[in-house]
Amino acid sequence: MILQRLDTIRKIEVVIIVALAIVLLIVPHVAGTATVTMVSRIMIFAVFAMSYDILRGYVGVIHLGYALFIGGGAYFVGILFTQFGVGIPMLLLAVVGTSVYSAIWALIVGKISGKSGMIATAMITMAFAEIMRSLMTSWFTVTRGADGLPFRVPPPFNDRTMMFYASFIFMVIMAFLLYKFTKSPTGRVWQAVRENEQRAIFLGYNTNRARTIALLVASVVGGLSGVMFGLLNRFVNTDLLDMQMTINAMLYSLIGGTGTLFGAILGSALVVYFQNLLLDLRGVHFIFERWLLFIGALYIVVVMFMPRGIMGFYYDWKDKRAQKKRLLQEAKLPPQLNDEA
Amino acid sequence: MRNMKHESLFKLAVIFLGNIILRTEGLSIEFGALKAVNNVSLSIKADKFTAILGPNGAGKTTFFNLVSGLYKPSAGKVFFKDKDVTGYTPQQRIHAGMGRSFQLTNVFPALSAHENVRLSVQSAAKVKFTKLFKSYTRYTDIFEETDRILKRILLHDKADVRAGNLTHGEQRKLELGMVLAQKPEVLLLDEPTAGMSIEEVPIMIDLLKSIKDTGETTIVLIEHKMNMVKALSDVIVVLANGELLCEGDPETVSNDPAVMAAYLGGGVVHVAT
């Protein structure tokens, strides 16, 4: 199999990405509020799933407590707004607070994953999220437990269209940053750690440090997506800290393509859209009430026919085409040489 | 006091015996009741090609694992360039100048051959992890060095092939390239021809010879193939049952009665590796 050494992006791909971005920017002017909110949600979840992909797809850490970040960010916004008043300064405080909170979790998980294996890390992180969830449930006076915490958000985020643009800008910036990181020398080391950690150690890399940096990047971005989600939803409850949120992130990146980063955007768009569509079909037949059934079927189809996800499928196709081209060129060479002779 | 005396004695030895780059002192490790490496004291001279021989289960690879830091010894010390490196992590030893390859092919299978070597060059260039915003393609010196090494190990036309899709012999060459990229002062090679086909072995011998001739690094080799050992080595060390059996130039060693006994099965327990 031939790999694109410099991972060159083809012109047609740039055109498609720009076209998609333009379509996205038109959405709030042509679609109803429900669609605008749904697309905003897709974009925020896409960032959440992309940061998850840095861990699972690039550095190879299985983090089962990833809800810690989207839930934590949303709770920071909710608690600060209800306790200390709604305003931009409080929002900035929430951003700083979430970053620090996420970074602390990243350092803790980094220490643990350096000492114990992948499975132990997965189990311990799952426990962390559960601890956080029961803490938030018990802190009833502030968080109102499982009932949830509704709150108001400051302008311009209280406007659906502005929130849409904010989510769009957030997604573009985060996608760019994460892409940049994966193409940095450190990002290349992440892949080496995922592939064969022992070998990476014997190349002289401090793999624990590389992994901790990946955890820091992913956790902070995940936490910020929580802040954005809080602003969009204007409501936070303990469901956001549930295992289900981690599974969602995993599902989005799996369907889009693990280790492809942008696959997470596609995955989140597909799953969230599908979910909304199925819920709308409730009136047609009661079976659509059980929309998870269909998401499960979608997941099975993707894993069976595109085991590397949608983007992975596309990359494989691109590789195959490049290989075919090369073989054709090689086949053509001898006659040309003969002609010259 | 005793230690100081030891050191001055060692310095004297350096003057008389030549430059010793790697030295072990009573190196031992036990796995339960098995003494895999038992009290091995060995001095490896710079610019001499040393081969470590021994029947299966003699403790050759375990010895390498102790020297390279994969295992912690239960007793004994490792000195590299007269410095005690026993407490060093594998990464610290690599950056100090000790490179090693593995008996079982150990590459990054899903990454291209180019990327395998490039990662090794990048490590040697000590690019900081905090350089998150600079694209890896902008380190042109790393790319040039990578191309140079790929040419040297004769894999430059396979640069874009996934390492897992290379033939076994090519993977062994790739591994050698990855270790060379570290520019080590001492190179621990664990059976570089293990599992290679007969046609591929001479290429590896030529490659090792060319490295030896440049004098850029001191090679310590674990090998089973006698023709290879005889063609390359200046010094042969024989291990058996985890103990140092014999040490000397090829002629002396091959005539040593203890070595003959060990290879003919005299009291040697054969353990499958």
Q: Domain containing B152: what range?
A: 104-182
* Nearest C-alpha in B relative to A176: B133
Sign of CA dihedral A13, A19, A20, A22: positive
Tokens of A67: 């809800």
Alpha helices in A234-308 (DSSP H): 243-256, 263-280, 291-305
Chain A residue nearest residue B157, CA to CA: A2
Burial class (CB in 10 A: 0-12, 13-18, 19+), B72: exposed
pLDDT the model gives residue A106: 95
pLDDT tens digits, one per residue of A252-263: 999 999 888 899
- The band of B268, judged by pLDDT with boundaries at 50, 70 and 90, is very low
Q: Which of B95, B131, B162 sits opposite A186 (nearest CB)?
A: B131
Query: Do the chains contact at B139 and A5, CB–CB below 8 Å?
Result: no
pLDDT at position B9, please?
63
The answer to whether residue A171 sits within a structural domain is yes
Q: Report the C-alpha gap between A193 and A182 in whole angstroms.
A: 13
| Residue A58 falls inside a structural domain | yes
Specify the CATH number for the domain of residue A119. 1.10.3470
Q: According to the model, what pLDDT value does residue B200 have?
A: 82
Separation between Cα atoms, residue A228 and residue A246, nearest integer Å: 17
pTM of the model: 0.83
A8, part of any domain: no
Q: Structural domain of residue A285, as residue ranges?
A: 35-322
User: Using an 8 Å Cβ cutoff, are A203 and B178 in contact?
Assistant: yes
Residue B96 lies in a domain: no
Does residue A310 or residue A331 have the better pLDDT? A310
- Residue B128 placed within a domain: yes
Task: Please compute the mean of the pLDDT values over residues A103-124 and round it to a whole number.
Answer: 91
In total, chain B counts a number of residues equal to 273
Residue A184 to residue B108, Cβ atoms within 8 A? no
pLDDT score recorded for residue A223: 96
Among A3, A185, A205, the residue with its CB nearest the CB of B112 is A3
- The tokens describing B228, both together, are 């290879």
pLDDT (0 to 100) of residue B195: 79
Q: Which residue has the higher pLDDT, B119 or B224?
A: B119
Structurally, how many domains does chain B consist of? 1
Q: B5 or A276: which carries more pLDDT confidence?
A: A276
In a domain, A109, yes or no: yes
In a domain, A203, yes or no: yes
- B105-135: burial string, b at 16+ Cβ within 10 Å, e else: bbbbebbbbbbbbbbbbbbbeebebeebeee
Report yes or no on A21 lying in a domain. Answer: no
CB contact under 8 A, B162 and A188: no
| Structural domain contains residue B123 | yes
> Do the domain assignments include residue B272?
no
**Structural domains in chain A (count):** 1
Residues with Cβ within 8 Å of B94's Cβ and at least 6 positions away in sequence, in order, are: A202, A203, A204, B123, B182, B184
**Average pLDDT over chain B, rounded to whole?**
82
**Which residue is closest to A193 within chain B, CA to CA?**
B108
Residue A18 has pLDDT above 80, yes or no: yes
| Across A108-117, A322-331, B78-87, least confident range | A322-331
- The whole-number pLDDT of residue A335 equals 52
Count of CA atoms in the C-beta half-sphere (13 A) of B161: 14
What's the average model confidence in pLDDT over A172-191?
A: 93
Contacts of residue A340, defined as CB under 8 A and 6 or more positions apart, other chains included, come to none
Q: Which of A1, A186, A204 sits opposite B129 (nearest CB)?
A: A186
Please give, rounded to a whole number of angstroms, the shortest distance from the CA of B253 to a CA of chain A.
32
CB contact under 8 A, A185 and B122: yes
**Percentage of residues of chain A with pLDDT beyond 90:** 53
In a domain, A329, yes or no: no
Q: A20 in a domain, yes or no?
A: no
